């Protein structure tokens, strides 16, 4: 990545840890851009399902992952995600996509393709104050030179309750089982596994409100500036 003037904030963590709400809150508070890399992987997964690609076949996914045009908007107050020009913000949050995103995300060719797009989005934000980027490998792979690295977690029960509420009151126990299964896949995959990056600050959001977590991370960013 080239020389830059804006601040880069990397927020990593497992599913349901509050990354999206926290990242958007920090970006809005500090006037930064925002990138949800998880939405990009979901968008790729949605495209694979729509085109009847076997998502559990890494070779089939790798062969076609260069085809879709994926664009993520960077306004934290209204983030957008499109595939081939179509708005898929709602479509990528369905249970079908949620259940298939981990195997698609584990394919090295998918990660390589989206890494290029993610780094380009960061570079484009450097003409301004900077950007908050959330995902699972931001501090370790996408932006290892980020000014602030956060590893955001919460205990499994809290994560499940939050995700179930987001999904309209789905079964908390089933949601927890699903989250833990995804954790295992994300943490053990060969390509860019979920891990706490060197130099990251570990923030356990379990006992805190969203506002308190945003306050904490915003303060860290201000100090780094």
Q: What is the DSSP string of 69-90?
A: -EEE---TTS--EEETTEE-TT
Angle between helices 95-105 and 172-188 (to 10 degrees): 20
- Alpha-carbon torsion (143, 126, 150, 117), positive or negative: negative
pLDDT-derived band at 156, boundaries 50, 70, 90? confident
Strand order of the β-sheet with 148-153 is 33-36, 130-135, 7-12, 148-153, 201-204
In the predicted model, is pLDDT for residue 1 greater than 90?
no
Q: According to the model, what pLDDT value does residue 2 have?
A: 47
In the predicted model, is pLDDT for residue 4 greater than 60?
no
Whether the CB-CB separation of 177 and 37 falls below 8 Å is answered with: no
Mean pLDDT of the chain: 91
Q: According to the model, what pLDDT value does residue 29 have?
A: 97
Which residues does residue 151 pair with via DSSP β-bridges, in sequence order? 12, 202
Radius of gyration for the alpha carbons in the chain, expressed in angstroms and rounded: 16
Q: pTM higher than 0.75 for the full model? A: yes
Domains of the chain: 7-224 (3.40.50.300)
Model pLDDT for residues 44-91, shown as the tens digit of each residue: 999 999 999 999 999 999 999 999 999 999 999 999 999 999 999 999
């Amino acid at each position: 990545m080239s020389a830059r003037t804006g601040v880069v904030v990397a927020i990593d963590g497992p599913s349901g840890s509050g990354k999206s709400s926290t990242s958007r809150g920090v970006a809005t508070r500090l006037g930064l851009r925002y990138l949800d890399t998880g939405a990009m992987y979901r968008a790729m997964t949605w495209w694979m399902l729509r085109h009847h690609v076997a998502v559990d076949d890494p070779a089939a996914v790798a062969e076609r992952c260069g085809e879709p045009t994926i664009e993520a908007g960077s306004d934290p107050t209204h983030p957008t995600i499109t595939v081939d020009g179509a708005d898929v913000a709602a479509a990528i949050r369905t249970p079908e996509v949620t259940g298939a995103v981990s195997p698609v995300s584990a394919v090295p060719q998918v990660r390589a393709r989206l890494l290029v797009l993610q780094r380009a989005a960061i570079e484009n934000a450097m003409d301004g104050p900077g950007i908050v980027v959330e995902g699972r490998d931001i501090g370790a792979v996408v932006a290892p030179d980020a000014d602030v690295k956060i590893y955001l977690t919460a205990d499994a029960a809290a994560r499940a309750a939050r995700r179930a509420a987001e999904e309209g009151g789905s079964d908390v126990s089933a949601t927890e089982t699903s989250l833990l299964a995804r954790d295992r896949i994300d943490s053990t995959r060969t390509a860019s596994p979920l891990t706490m990056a060197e130099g990251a600050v570990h923030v356990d959001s379990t006992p805190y409100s969203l506002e308190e977590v945003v306050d904490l991370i915003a303060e860290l960013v201000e100090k780094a500036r």
